[in-house]
Chain A
Amino acid sequence: MSDGVGVGPVGVEMAAGMEASAGGAVVGLSQDETTKRTLGIGFWISITWITVIVLAAALAPWLPLKDPDSNFIAAGERPPYSPNGTHWFGTDQDARDLFSRTIWGARISLTVGFVAIACGMVFGGLLGMIAGYFRGWWDRVISFVFVVFLSFPALVLAILITALLERSLRTISITLGILSIAPVGRVARATTISFADREFVLAARTLGASHRRIMIKELLPNVLIPMGALALLGMAVAVVAEGGLAFLGLSVEKGSTWGKMILTGAGSRDLQKAPWIAFAPIIVLFLTVLSLNFAGDRLRSYFDVRETAL
């Protein structure tokens, strides 16, 4: 049941996906299949986890957490300490509490992810809609810019910018934001194109609506649905990208992030003696990324959006 499609609808879905995305496909489905389309329990579990981790991150200063930067050295024993009653996730080599650091790390990791995808949504969405609505030269220029950005590994550009500028939370977030413009823009463009010639747009135009009005009132609400699903996926990508940068020594300099925490425990000696240093943040990061991916994926198939349309 995980895919929500039986034997028959696969072909229907494919055909519908080719012709139009989003709303177009719903028309083709019979009553029976429409009722089968639910988000499923997995979606709600994912959303719950995301909510918990976001709340914990947002409220970290007010939660009864241990100070993430204090060294809790116990008499007679050398750190790192394995997980126990006082330190739920154990401590790192400097006897800092990993549970508290993971929550505090979520603040930076999630901020990076959120700001990055918000940037991508606003600018990518705008450029993609302009390209998809006006077509012609607008489309050619904007699409070419998208192709340029998509044609070399995003991480290379990220390293380039973060290495040359200072590594503050702002720089990292904006860098990853710039990188998410092209992928988001492409989807916005494809979705806009699939709606731009529909009857309701034509009707609005016949009634004398301006381009701006058509784009905001008619197209934007339709483009937003697939973009919402993409936002969750994009946030997962940005959170992972921060981790990748951390492994190259290029993440946010101040404070702990999930990527930096994993790196702290990733050395062979530490993995051997104190695997929890790396695995505590890995598990939290993994669950978060998995939830974002899963929720995004479910939303996407729920609204039946096809990136490949066009």
Chain B
Amino acid sequence: MRYWLQRLGAALALLLAVSMLTFGAMNLLGDPLFNILGPAASDTSTEEGRQIIADAKAEYNLDEPLPVRYVKWGSAFVTGDFGVQFSVDGQPPVADLIKERLPRTLMLLIMAQLIAVTLAIPWALWSASRADSVVDKMSTATTFLFIALPNFALAVLIKYVLSIKFEIFPLIFNAADPFWTRVWQMVMPALTLGLPAAAVYQRLLRTDLITTLQEDFILTARAKGVSRRNVLFKHALRPSLFSFITIFGITTGALIGGALVVEQVFIIPGLGSAIVEAILREDFPVVLAIVMLVTAAFVVINVIVDLVYSLIDPRVRAS
């Protein structure tokens, strides 16, 4: 219990630190006034112009000192009021924008992880059961290639092969299409994120499986007449899943970063493209909301990893 309270405290401190860092960096380096007012933002020649600027500053709290602005933003943020966009009309509100964009990014991430896990587990079992054979070495070399290939390069490659050479998948993502059509359109971006993740999982699982397969209980099971297949699936896989769960958490974090680029290449209007557009427009509330969301997701994933860990490994629970 004490442990989980400490975890909670650390998570809150982390969110606070990240929000301060982002808020501080944006407010010190950027000037959002231009995006709110357009060219009028630099028009200080007339009394009227100066008044417009002063009004806008007051409306968006830009005339107040940085800490006050931070507290105002923060206290509204925790109640779920993410503010309005820093644009000429400020519409739609940030919360609505996120509600519209988030499902697409989630779909991309879920599909990518599904592809990665469903590929990696059988692949690892297959290679671990023929450890150090020629095919195993070739598969290890393949994982190395996938990990070294940058995601944007893989995206271009996948687009070229699957969409241009063999016209299997459509090039365009259309948010208005029915669900299954969108799933189909999302396969290429999901593959771009999923293949390297699969390679990471495969390498780790394979090493773990090989270690597990040398344990005495595996020998005992084999001696009692359990078939090779059953030993692999029922006895070896579970203890090998521990580090897999940790790496799953870490990879999810990495995939969120990768989604930024992949969404850009495949032109998917998700959170990734939303934050890129928002940063370029110096649309602070949108950037902050997305950064906080991503960080929170990151923290939650890590806590879940810990929880699952203590569920499947009683030794962790005891300590």
Contact = CB atoms under 8 A, between A and B. Distances in A.
A294 B214 contact: no
A262 B153 contact: yes
A160 B164 contact: no
Interface stretch (B34-42, B93-101, B217-225, B279-287): B279-287
Interface stretch (B44-52, B64-72, B80-88, B255-263): B255-263
A52 interface: no
Given A262-B153, A262-B156, A10 B164 contact: no
Given A2-B140, A271-B160, A285-B150, A153 B256 contact: yes
Contact of B265 (A160, A266, A272): A266
Interface string A112-155: 00000000000000000000000000000000100110011111
A290 interface: yes
A248 B276 contact: yes
Contacts of A165: 29
B150 A243 contact: yes
Interface of B is mostly: helix
Interface size class of chain B, counting residues whose CB lies under 8 Å from the partner chain = 35 or more
B159 interface: yes
Nearest to B299: A151
Interface stretch (B19-27, B54-62, B232-240): B19-27
Interface size class of chain A, counting residues whose CB lies under 8 Å from the partner chain = 35 or more
A155 B260 contact: yes
B294 A152 contact: yes
B157 interface: yes
A309 interface: no
B241 interface: no
A14 B214 CA distance: 13
Given A152-B294, A266-B265, 15 more contacts: A7-B214, A10-B207, A148-B18, A148-B21, A152-B298, A153-B260, A155-B261, A240-B150, A244-B151, A248-B276, A249-B280, A266-B156, A278-B160, A285-B150, A290-B144
6 pairs of A and B residues whose beta carbons are closest in the complex: A153-B257, A164-B29, A290-B148, A240-B150, A163-B279, A155-B257
21 contacts: A2-B140, A10-B211, A11-B214, A151-B298, A153-B253, A153-B256, A159-B260, A159-B276, A161-B25, A165-B29, A244-B260, A247-B261, A247-B264, A263-B152, A266-B155, A266-B265, A268-B159, A272-B164, A289-B149, A290-B148, A294-B144
Interface of B: 13-14, 17-18, 21-22, 25-26, 29-30, 132, 137, 140-141, 144-145, 147-153, 155-157, 159-160, 163-164, 171, 207, 210-211, 214, 253-254, 256-257, 260-261, 264-265, 275-276, 279-280, 282, 287, 291, 294-295, 298-299
Interface of A: 2-3, 7, 10-11, 14, 144, 147-148, 151-156, 159-161, 163-165, 236, 240, 243-244, 247-249, 259, 262-263, 265-266, 268, 271-272, 275, 278, 282, 285-286, 289-290, 293-294
